[in-house]
Amino acid sequence: MAQKHAELFAEIPGCQIVAGVDVAEERLEAFCETYGIGRSFTDLDEAINWGAFDAVSNVTPDAVHYSTTMKLAETGKPIFCEKPLAPSYSQALEMTEAVESRGIVNMVNLRYRGLAVMQKARELAAEGAIGEARHLEAAYLQSWLVGTHWGDWRTEERWLWRLSGAHGSRGVLGDVGIHILDFASFVAGRNPVSIHCRMKAFGKAEGNRIGAYALDANDSFVMSVEFDGGALGVIHASRWATGYANAQKLAVFGTHGALEVWFESEESGLKLCAGEDIHTQTWRAVECPPVPNTYQTFIDAVRGGAPAEPSFRRAAELQHVLDLCFESSERGEGVGVVEGPPTAPIATASVERPD
């Protein structure tokens, strides 16, 4: 993913990657050479002591975000961190408080926020184009446990850590569940108030272990959700979804319309069924003006020109819901999102009901 960051930050005028940091020296050297990065450090403390940078992008594995970000927060420099912010809500909250208390620009790379279709869908829902949300359906489908299109998970460390709880992974729920939960709740402008989640880690190897990796992290989950405002929704994700490399779909059905967004392999679309079309089930494609990607939004925020959204706080709120999913799955029952952080309303749509 650091390669993606390097490519997309390089496209921003005036933005230059001045150093790379990785504990794996060979990988670091190859990365810096590929992207023409002049300095490299195998120790984060050394990079911090050097200090000749304006902001940091943290693309370490999920379990490493916490320790590295807490150190970086002491520098007072803006931080762009990969999702999920941390493996647990408590760590995500600590990270949030560390940056907020110092007034540090902070943002999490929930990168689908940088899709034109997602921003337009949210705008339509907030304007009341579909009325009040009643029902949502959201899916995030991958198939890297079945196909070899992204490499071989049996031998590659970058996939093995994703399959192991002891290595800080919260499974498909933590990895992409956070994206689809953000996607659904951001577009609908509604936060979850109660959830019921089931998840599974299927057997994948002898003894369900490969080397140091116990393969116990969930690889499929299904969740039913009630949102504030009363809408019900189903959200699910899997790494076993043959035929889909990286696909998302969200449908929001309201009191007088519906919208549907899809994304697959960097292609995306949005369609709407509203007005007189609700009587004929006619869907119309919606034009979506370009929007800045998350990398551009972060740099704009560093330069003081834009809010850094989605923030660490938003990611911590999502993490709270993910933690509750584990609780729900273990107890086999639904749980309310009542003891969580104060959730900021995502949108304040004023919706006129039809007579």
# residues contacting ligand NAD (CB under 6 A): 20
Q: Choose the binding region for ligand NAD from 56-64, 99-107, 124-132, 183-191 (rule: CB under 6 A).
A: 56-64
The 3-state DSSP class for residue 285 equals: strand
Helix, strand, coil shares of the chain, percent, nearest 5, are 35, 25, 40
When binding is defined by CB under 6 A, the residue of 29, 48, 61, 234 that contacts ligand NAD is 61
The single-letter DSSP state of residue 344 is P
Please give the residues from 70 up to 109 whose contact with ligand NAD meets the rule CB under 6 A: 82-83, 109
CB of 137 to ligand NAD, least distance (A): 21
- 111: alpha, beta or left, given left = phi > 0 and alpha = psi -120 to 50? alpha
Q: Can you read off the two tokens belonging to residue 293?
A: 């990607």
Cα–Cα dist 178/180, whole Å: 6
H/E segment holding residue 64: none
Q: Choose the binding region for ligand NAD from 60-68, 86-94, 113-121, 186-194 (rule: CB under 6 A).
A: 60-68
CB of 23 to ligand NAD, least distance (A): 4
80 φ, ψ to 5°? -110, 120
Q: Are 153 and 163 in contact (CB under 8 A)?
A: yes
Sheet holding 56-58, edge to edge: 56-58, 79-81, 106-108
CB of 32 to ligand NAD, least distance (A): 12
CB-wise, 167 or 196, nearer to ligand NAD? 167
Nearest residue to 183 via CA among 92, 119, 88: 119
When binding is defined by CB under 6 A, the residue of 6, 21, 47, 270 that contacts ligand NAD is 21
Q: Choose the binding region for ligand NAD from 12-20, 23-31, 87-95, 253-261 (rule: CB under 6 A).
A: 23-31
Cα–Cα dist 116/293, whole Å: 9
When binding is defined by CB under 6 A, the residue of 6, 22, 91, 302 that contacts ligand NAD is 22
When binding is defined by CB under 6 A, the residue of 60, 220, 328, 343 that contacts ligand NAD is 60
Site string for ligand NAD, 106-145 (x = CB under 6 A): ---x-x----------------------------------
Beta strands 19-21 and 209-210 are unpaired
Q: Does 44 bind ligand NAD (CB under 6 A)?
A: yes
When binding is defined by CB under 6 A, the residue of 47, 64, 86, 105 that contacts ligand NAD is 64
Instruction: Classify residue 26 as exposed, middle or buried by CB count within 10 Å of its CB (0-12, 13-18, 19+).
Output: exposed
Q: Does 313 bind ligand NAD (CB under 6 A)?
A: no
When binding is defined by CB under 6 A, the residue of 9, 32, 57, 62 that contacts ligand NAD is 62
CB-wise, 59 or 180, nearer to ligand NAD? 59
CB-wise, 217 or 231, nearer to ligand NAD? 217
Q: Are 112 and 248 in contact (CB under 8 A)?
A: yes
When binding is defined by CB under 6 A, the residue of 32, 55, 59, 337 that contacts ligand NAD is 59
CB-wise, 21 or 225, nearer to ligand NAD? 21
CB of 313 to ligand NAD, least distance (A): 18
CB of 172 to ligand NAD, least distance (A): 11
Q: Are 133 and 227 in contact (CB under 8 A)?
A: yes
Q: Are 297 and 309 in contact (CB under 8 A)?
A: yes
CB-wise, 86 or 130, nearer to ligand NAD? 86
| Sequence letter at residue 91 | Q
Distance in Å from the first CA to the final CA of the chain: 50
Cα–Cα dist 24/2, whole Å: 13
Please give the residues from 142 up to 201 whose contact with ligand NAD meets the rule CB under 6 A: 158, 175
The 3-state DSSP class for residue 57 equals: strand
Contact residues toward ligand NAD (CB under 6 A) are 1-2, 21-24, 27, 44, 59-62, 64, 68, 82-83, 109, 111, 158, 175
